[in-house]
Structure 1
Amino acid sequence: MLLGCHRTFGVPTEIVQDLPALASIRAIYIADLTHGEDPYLVEGSDEVRKRIRAKLIESGRFSVVDNLAEADAALTGVAGFQRWYFGMESFYGLEGSLNTQYAGIGMVRLLNSKTKEPIWTHEYEAGFFHPTQSVVDRVADQAVEKLLRDTALADSSR
């Protein structure tokens, strides 16, 4: 019996939270979040990346750098959304309306910039639809909120 399908786009899915290492991170480099995927398959990666960048800077906890050599850690993985269409097909072709559905995608990892060892991971969890929030914002905000919560926990454990 097939209960569900899930694709992580080649990004390892094991959950990692190295709190001592996370507490030491100050500067983050945000890599391309398509993870080499076809941009027609995973859309909105650039927008998610920009939103993550803005939210991290706004937090004041991290600085975001444009050069990996200046970073303590790199945020890598895949983030964006998939779009698919559905409608009813009949003998005469498409009947009725064609509907568009969007699904957020996010599997990101924070890697030590020197050793490439994973420090922290997050997988996007679909939730209730928020009509005032775009799927891009939901994916980015969920990742940043989780990173900031885990970082606060790491900072308080020092």
Structure 2
Amino acid sequence: MPDDFAFGPDPDRPGWMRWALREQNRYNSTLGPMWVMKRDDGIVVVRTEPEHLQGNLANNVHGGAILTQVDISLFVCARLHGALRHGPAVTLDLNSHFVGAGKVGQPLDAEVEIIRETGRLMFLRGLVVQAGETVCAFTGTIRKTPAPRAKSQ
């Protein structure tokens, strides 16, 4: 795991790993703590626990907070599967369909899987679920950073 991330077992949540950027003044920290789990079926689960800050006036999770979690989940999945080893990558597209409301104060899980990986691209899809209900379906494409080339002599 790159040094940019703090990643390790969470003693208070058996089976879950704590995931955080070491630099807490980056955008990713707006979601608060995140926990991740790679299931036996290859699906990576990225959990947040939305609070008042991530809520809208209806006390539902703001769509922007959900999309932030979805975007981060693409990269967490790619890293846990070993597909991002050579530095940063970028989101090329992110398509989402909101089908329900996420509630503040309840765990919110982005469940993401890799559909296909090529040399530079990774295609992913997933669901955001809360208490067994689907909140959002999504697909996304990541462009990976190529490995550094060896210097020719």
Greater relative CO, 1 or 2 (CA 8 Å, sep 6+): 1
TM-score (norm 2): 0.29
Query: Could you say which structure has the larger radius of gyration?
Result: 1
TM-score (norm 1): 0.29
More helix by share: 1
